[in-house]
Amino acid sequence: MNTFLIPDWPAPAGIRACVTTRANGASVAPFDSFNLGDHVGDDPVAVAHNRQRLTHIFDVQPAWLSQVHGVVVAPADPQQIAEADASWTATPGIACTVMTADCLPALFCDRAGTRVAAAHAGWRGLAAGVLEAAALSLNVEPCDILVWLGPAIGPKAFEVGGEVRDVFIEDMPHAGTAFVPSINAGRFMADIYALARLRLARCGITAVYGGGFCTVTDPRFYSYRRSPRTGRFASLVWIESSPG
């Protein structure tokens, strides 16, 4: 199993991105083995080793966040951990970084390759507008934004209550197309990728790539729904210090 997944999207020259997997790290079960979350009960020494390895391999400084399922977008800063669910930067060598284990990671860049952003979107953050907030941080026209949707819980695994469906439909009636009835009465299977695309399209962003993953069924990734005591993988996007 490879340690990293490289996004397949038409990002401009000088933009780099990656998603970490569970492979080739220092953590032991149930966090085995490339866990990057320092808040899940793993050995801090192992987490530090994994983070240092990530920094060394890509020669980049990740800007970690304290994620709270909100819509705050912070300037990416490797020297401090902001309480936010998205970050942006125009500084080469600094990686906008989010950690997930079923929630949706979304990576953003502008077509000119001058600004990048990353967002963590659980259903609450998605409904509240964290993707839209991350897009606004790029300060460019929506038609000039590219988005890649990373590994998240898939539509065959994401069962939610009717109240979750109602939150999305109240804000965007056609969001109902992203929900199908579950075999369990009163519950629905939600497509977080479809919801993300609908929300991005509403604000004029249609260059959206990725999706099609399911962290619950794909053993490359951590999944909280599959195993509540587990690690976190990271999705990063940055501007190269020396493009090309």
Whether 244 shows a pLDDT value over 50: the answer reads no
Contact 40/230 with Cβ under 8 angstroms? yes
The mean pLDDT of the chain is 96
Mean pLDDT score, 192-200: 98
Locate 200 and state its tokens. 């991005």
Mean pLDDT score, 1-19: 94
Q: Rounded to two decimals, what is the model's pTM? A: 0.97
Give the pLDDT band (50/70/90) at residue 2: confident
User: Tell me, what's the pLDDT at 127?
Assistant: 97
Whether 243 shows a pLDDT value over 60: the answer reads no
Contacts for 121-126: CB closer than 8 Å, 24+ residues apart: 121/85, 121/192, 121/196, 122/69, 123/160, 123/164, 123/167, 123/190, 123/192, 123/195, 124/69, 125/69, 125/70, 125/71, 125/85, 126/192, 126/195, 126/196, 126/199
- How do residues 133-153 score in pLDDT, each as one tens digit? 999 999 999 999 999 999 999
- How do residues 21-58 score in pLDDT, each as one tens digit? 999 999 999 999 999 999 999 999 999 999 999 999 99
Give the pLDDT band (50/70/90) at residue 1: confident
Contact 204/215 with Cβ under 8 angstroms? no
Q: What are the structural domains, with CATH classification, of the chain?
A: 4-239 (3.60.140.10)
Beta-bridged to residue 97, according to DSSP, are 236
User: Tell me, what's the pLDDT at 153?
Assistant: 98
Mean pLDDT score, 71-82: 97
